[in-house]
Structure 1
Amino acid sequence: MKHSHGLFHTLFYLLTLGLFSCIDAETYNDSPRGNFEALWHTIDEQYCFLDYKAQEYGLDWDEVHERYSRDIVDNMTDKDLFNVFDRMLAELRDGHVNLYTGFDVARYWDWYEDYPKNFSDSIQRIYLGKDYHIASGLKYKVLDDNIGYIYYESFSDAVGNGNLSDMLQELAICKGLIIDVRNNSGGQLTNADRIAARFTNKKVLTGYICHKTGPGHSDFSEPYPVYLEPSGSVRWQKPVCVLTNRSSYSATNDFVNTMKQLENITIVGDRTGGGSGLPFSSELPNGWSIRFSASPMYDPQMNHLEFGIDPDVQVDMSADDMRRGKDTIIETARRILNEKAL
């Protein structure tokens, strides 16, 4: 069974919705204890990385229940209850896990805070200058060594086929192309697929995806292959460097994995942030909403993408370069592309 990227992800959302509506769930009352049990069991039965994270760093979700259960008392305030939930969910180490209330949002940020930033807005403005072009969410220009530079800040910014064709035609004179997705925290997978499709001339296997089939930690479907189809419009044929840092997350992580499978593409910079599980939302008895990773995604070798993707060329921005107004990662990519053009 073969699937293209965009339609396939839509199909999986529908499958996931159907599955979770069929899982038998105990009814929990709207009390601190009832909401605690509802949250813990939702993650226990529907979160997709419990076994993987037990293997990677020893997560024991039963032990988590025992430990945080001691903090639940009948007369605790909503904010005290939220703080317990926030700390418990942080045990998952997943930026796709969020708890939404009327007064706060629980989120996990440590996945990128222990890494170098590897991006500077002020230095990037030096490269873009004042004469760059804008095509929807894409900023682009030709650098002085005839390398094209594209910065895409968010996959939530819609990009149409006309935008992409106009941009690639404008950059056709260039001998190589830099696509900078640093600090891009994700957005729509359809935008990621639409851009990646401009960089292949053939159908490419980019990975696999599974969905939950039951409440057990290991209850998953067989892996379904995910393919990228080449665009029928203007396609780029020259070398490309994709720039990444730890804040390249979620749909950006998926984009980097896809580009990594294509010919003539080099990933440059730091390990991406991960966030590969397709998210799903559920509601607690008190009306708070919980979002969590529901469907794991893999590369073509069936390696998890949850904790990020290593670059082909690892490089951090150096303090010396930054003092001189230089971006070490951009300069490394320029050197690679100039060498390929010889």
Structure 2
Amino acid sequence: MNGLSKHIISALALFVLVSFSGCIDDDGFNDSPVGNFDALWSVMNQRYCFFSYKDVDWDEVYSRYRPLVNDNTGEYELFDIMSAMLNELKDGHVNLVSTFNQSRYWEWFEAYPQNFSEEIVKRYYLKQPDYKIAGGFDYRILEGTQIGYMYFGNFSSAVNDGNLNEILLSFVGCKGIIIDVRDNGGGLLTNVDKIVSRFITGDMVYAYIRHKLSPAHDDFSDYYPMSIKAAPDGYVKYYGPIAVLTNRSCYSATNSFVAAMKLLPQVAVFGDKTGGGSGLPFSSQLPNGWNVRFSASPMSDTDYKDIEGGIEPTFKVDMEPIEAGLTRDNIIDAAVDWINSGALR
């Protein structure tokens, strides 16, 4: 990340780390089943950022789950009870981590059509093995077209400026580019800045972030802008039509990437709504050593609307049910048709 956004995130991270991180056994909670349950409920009550957005009554949740725990509750049962309580938040950034298990909430994508097949993409579009790999991207010009295609499956992948220069150079003269981020569960926000910077002509604000000021559920700071600087002179850039492909498995940093790209006039998003995940996650440790990760600082779009619930596509497109013999990807094909139609020209 660079510029203003880098300084803002650094300041926010320092604030939240100082305020939120570390052990919480100095708050009067002992290392017992009841003590650990109360410690978990309390840290979430004071520091989680989406209670109002998700319309969750955390006191009511406590009244249902607390009676399930007593001093004789075993650690495996305690873990299951606490995990079930956390899943009431329906947040993919909330996890309880022990030495034997990690809780997770996956319905943000499991309850929806997959809308992606890696096998179909690699066999019929990338024409495996006839494609290139650089910086986490699989890319090529789609056969029989003048359209560049790049698949990016993980925002934790190491992306450097040289990778992006080579990829975009290979697409010089193309009518348009397809950036496929389906099934990308997130990673580094710095990669969002790095990639988007190649498609903008000037610095842009793409989102806002806030942090909590006190344990009160709705006591937040002002909105701080998150900005991306345009890539400097000498870097390869592209300003032609771009189709971004999404499904429900686009989460966290991928959600932020889609939010930023959708602001650009030359971009259209195809596929399904993203899975969301806009809360900057932080963690705390319970008296027994288990760790809980949670959303601490909410991000919103440039209209100050929360993007925790995901980003809507420009064009909603679903794939045909994935079954033996299927050779086409409706979402890629729709993006190809849009670029070929000259909609932006």
Give TM-score, length-normalised by structure 1.
Answer: 0.95
SS in 2 for 1:340: coil
User: 1:239 maps to which residue?
Assistant: 241
Number of equivalences: 337
User: 2:33 maps to which residue?
Assistant: 32
Counterpart contact for 2:20–2:284, Cα < 8 Å: no
Q: Deviations over 1:311-334 (max 9, x none)?
A: 000000024998440000000000
User: 1:127 maps to which residue?
Assistant: 125
Give the deviation of 1:76 after TM superposition: 1.1
Answer yes or no: is 1:138 the counterpart of 2:122.
no
Give the deviation of 1:12 after TM superposition: 1.8
Answer yes or no: is 1:261 the counterpart of 2:263.
yes
User: 2:52 maps to which residue?
Assistant: 51
CA distance in 1, matches of 2:11, 2:115: 36
Counterpart amino acid of residue 214 in structure 2:
G
CA distance in 1, matches of 2:335, 2:282: 36
- Correspondences of 1:40-189 after superposition (within 5 Å): 40-54=41-55, 59-125=56-122, 126-129=124-127, 130-143=129-142, 144-189=144-189
Equivalent residue in structure 2 for 1:333, among 327, 332, 335: 335
CA distance in 2, matches of 1:176, 1:303: 30
Counterpart contact for 2:117–2:322, Cα < 8 Å: no
Deviates more, 1:271-280 or 1:203-212: 203-212
CA distance in 2, matches of 1:153, 1:141: 15
CA distance in 1, matches of 2:159, 2:266: 23
Gap change, CA 1:164 and 1:154, over 3 Å in 2 = same
Give the deviation of 1:173 after TM superposition: 2.2
SS in 2 for 1:300: coil
CA distance in 2, matches of 1:272, 1:337: 22
Counterpart contact for 1:19–1:212, Cα < 8 Å: no
Q: Deviations over 1:137-180 (max 9, x none)?
A: 01100012110000001001010011101110111121100000
- Runs (4+) of structure 1 exceeding 6 A deviation are none
Q: Deviations over 1:276-327 (max 9, x none)?
A: 0000010000000000000000000011011111000000002499844000
CA distance in 2, matches of 1:7, 1:167: 29
Counterpart contact for 1:112–1:246, Cα < 8 Å: yes
CA distance in 1, matches of 2:322, 2:115: 13
User: 2:251 maps to which residue?
Assistant: 249
CA distance in 2, matches of 1:268, 1:284: 42
Give the deviation of 1:261 after TM superposition: 1.2
Counterpart amino acid of residue 185 in structure 2:
S
Tell me the C-alpha RMSD between the 2 structures: 1.9
CA distance in 1, matches of 2:108, 2:322: 26
User: 1:216 maps to which residue?
Assistant: 216
Counterpart amino acid of residue 126 in structure 2:
L
CA distance in 1, matches of 2:287, 2:224: 34
SS in 2 for 1:84: helix
Counterpart contact for 1:99–1:106, Cα < 8 Å: yes
Give the deviation of 1:3 after TM superposition: 5.8
Deviates more, 1:223-232 or 1:328-337: 223-232
SS in 2 for 1:291: strand
Counterpart contact for 1:188–1:251, Cα < 8 Å: yes
SS in 2 for 1:238: coil
CA distance in 2, matches of 1:197, 1:212: 29
Which 5+ residue runs of structure 1 have no aligned equivalent? none
Gap change, CA 1:258 and 1:288, over 3 Å in 2 = same
SS in 1 for 2:197: helix
Counterpart amino acid of residue 33 in structure 2:
P
Counterpart amino acid of residue 138 in structure 1:
F
CA distance in 2, matches of 1:43, 1:320: 39
Q: Deviations over 1:187-232 (max 9, x none)?
A: 1110111001111001112111000111100111011111121111
Gap change, CA 1:3 and 1:223, over 3 Å in 2 = farther
SS in 2 for 1:248: coil
CA distance in 1, matches of 2:303, 2:112: 26
Give TM-score, length-normalised by structure 2.
Answer: 0.94
CA distance in 2, matches of 1:113, 1:104: 20
CA distance in 1, matches of 2:46, 2:37: 14
CA distance in 1, matches of 2:237, 2:116: 28
Counterpart contact for 2:269–2:315, Cα < 8 Å: yes
Gap change, CA 1:324 and 1:78, over 3 Å in 2 = closer
CA distance in 2, matches of 1:296, 1:158: 26
CA distance in 2, matches of 1:273, 1:289: 24
